[in-house]
Structure 1
Amino acid sequence: MSFHMNLMFILTAFTFVLLLLLCLYVHNRRLDRTTRKAFPPAGEYVEAEHIRLHFTSKGTGRPIVFLHGGILSSRDFSNVVSEAASRGFRAIAFDRPGYGYSERPKTEWATPRVQARLLKEALRKLDAKQPILVGHSWSASLVLAYMLDYPGELAGAVLVAPGAYGGKAYPAGAIDLFLGRLLRVPFLGSLAAHTVLPPLARKLTSTMLQSTFSPDKVPDGYQKIANALWSRPSQLRANREDILAFAQTIPAMEQHYSRIQTPTVIVCGEKDPFRPDLHAYRLHREISHSRLIVLPDTGHMIPALRPAAVVDAVELLIREMEDSLHVK
């Protein structure tokens, strides 16, 4: 009798979990479709190594390429793109692989160096020669990889609130790294991304936004967009994989920063919670010719909050490049 009761309990529990996962899967798929209708792709596509990358572009002139950080998308550079175009630049903002409406490689882990390689091919197809790359947060690692691997193909780089160092400098904790590994497990990772992780992400979004935007307030409407875009399975998976990729690949890259010769400007917020002393300031010391700009009373989300400051940094970089040519 006891055996049959235990078996019935196990079967009931298993059926309940299965139904719960099924309901979550259907619910998340419905939200994903709703998100695409509410916030459709705003730009165009370019293919790099059979991967479709979504980007927005505005203006003409010298190409300035904007790359978003962490869980974000090209939307975070919308105001920067408009500002740059108004100042006479060809402004291009990409959704990095797996974010926004860009595809992500399925057979190769998209490390900073892999993403740099994809970007190089995309820029070649867009005829964006000698661009200035602007990387925010995680994307600073992509720009640093680009400078190390393809130094002669860049005019310059602007690193905004950069994440550049691993180990104790990188804020990802054990749970972040565990989720990154989990999502790479066949079937189990996909199951988690399509069921339990999206509602968890939506629940944590508000706290995350308050932290990263502080001391400023979260802009009106931003949380609605974040709740919709950030919790999609594809974007969650890309973000968790990128966190793991950063932790595992940056320690080898950071040993070579001192040999970077590309003109570089580094911008950080005075009140960034992600320790600019361990990233921006240290990187400024290692790239000895770089310029460091510290924005007072500013946190981490500089592109969304200080778009003019980002373009000011680009113009400073160009002036210094031109002054250097005159000196020579």
Structure 2
Amino acid sequence: MDTMYASVILPYLSHALLLVSAVLLFWLYLANRKAVKAAERSYPPGGSFVEVEGTRLHYLEKGKGRPLVFLHGGILSSYDFSAVLTEAASRGYRAIAFDRPGYGYSERPKKRRLTPRDQAHLLKEALAALQAEQPILVGHSWSASLALAYALAYPRELSGLVLLAPGAYGGKAYPAGAADLLLGQLMRLPLLGSLLAHTLLPPLARKLSFAMVQSTFSPDPVPAGYLAAARALWARPRQLKANREDVLAYVQTVPDMERHYASIATPMVIVVGEQDPFRPELQGLRLHRAVKGSQLVRLPQTGHMIPDVNPKAVVDAVELLDL
């Protein structure tokens, strides 16, 4: 009797479970779409757009003079350089901060993965379109890998490099764990990646944003309004997907790049916060030892978010290049 009962009821339970799961995912999808629209109403794009190879890139720009190009880290955006743009423009630079592909309001190519080298190529084309010749590149965190890829591929087209709390090495030096890499691989799957990005991951990202922001800024205070903007913009599906893909691309690309850092002749300044939780001795200090002639700036009592907490130090580092 029990066996007969189970054979009848179990299929109904399975179907009910599938139906409940589908309804929940659909509800999450609609809720996340609503959250994205609200976020983009509250924090609309404040810059201009340039199209390269069919991809629209959003950027902020201030001032006139030598091109100074800012590249944000991790899951961030060009807005992390807002105060730096003002500081740089006041010192006579043409300051440009890009949203990297998939972040902020920049599109991301859909049919191919983007390594730091690929993003360097897109950046080169964007700068050509903007007639920003012989720029100085300023890369924060993850974007140090992009700036280094640019220097390795196009050394004659750069005036200098400033790397802030740089990510330049993989392996144990990079804080991504096995779960990060697995999620990056899942996000690259066409159907499953989109499903995760539009349903389960956004509410999780919003829930974790407070701890992420606090730990990344520590020991520096979080600027007023920063957490609200991060919770709104970081949790958008395309930005989450771009970030997970970039973590995976970094791990797969940087180990090969490391072998060539010593050949970089472009003038370079490396800036590290002495209280950076991502251990500058494994990244920025190691890069300083590898690149002969590079200059090192240590900021005491400073964490990882140098562009947000010390914009003056960023432009001071640019002027150390003495070009």
TM-score normalised per structure 2 = 0.98
Q: 1:253 aligns with which of 246, 251, 257?
A: 257
Matched, 1:205 2:209: yes
Cα displacement (A) at 1:2 = 1.4
Shift of 1:216: 1.3
Runs of 5+ in structure 1 lacking a partner?
322-328
- Secondary structure in structure 2 of the residue aligned to 1:277: helix
The structural deviation recorded for 1:3 is 1.2
Shift of 1:36: 1.2
**Match of residue 239, structure 2, among 235, 241, 246:** 235
In structure 1, how many angstroms separate the alpha carbons of the residues matched to 2:313 and 2:7?
69
Spell out the pairing of 1:36-185 with structure 2 (5 A cutoff): 36-185=40-189
Residues 1:28 and 2:32 are matched in the alignment = yes
The question of 1:292 aligning with 2:313 is answered no
| Alpha-carbon distance in structure 2 between the residues aligned to 1:154 and 1:43 | 24
Equivalents in 2 of 1:216, 1:142: separation in Å?
A: 26
Q: Deviations over 1:118-163 (max 9, x none)?
A: 0000000100000000000000000000000000000001000000
CA deviations on 1:201-253 (whole Å, 9 max, x unpaired) are: 11111111111100112111100000001000000000000000000110001
Per-residue CA deviations over 1:256-314 (Å, capped at 9, x if unaligned) read 00000000000010000101001000100111110000100000000000010000001
1: distance between equivalents of 2:227 and 2:19?
Answer: 35
Q: Which residue of 2 aligns with 1:276?
A: 280
**In the TM superposition, what is the alpha-carbon distance from 1:8 to its structure 2 partner?**
1.2
Number of residue pairs the alignment of both structures matches = 319
Secondary structure of the corresponding residue to residue 281 of structure 2: coil
Give identity over the alignment, percent: 63
Structure 1 residues 211-222: aligned runs within 5 Å: 211-222=215-226
* Structure 2 letter corresponding to 1:129: E
Q: Which residue is equivalent to 1:326?
A: none
Query: What is the rounded CA distance, in whole Å, between the counterparts of 1:167 and 1:76 in structure 2?
Result: 27
The alignment's C-alpha RMSD in Å is 0.6
What SS class does the counterpart of residue 31 from structure 1 fall into?
helix
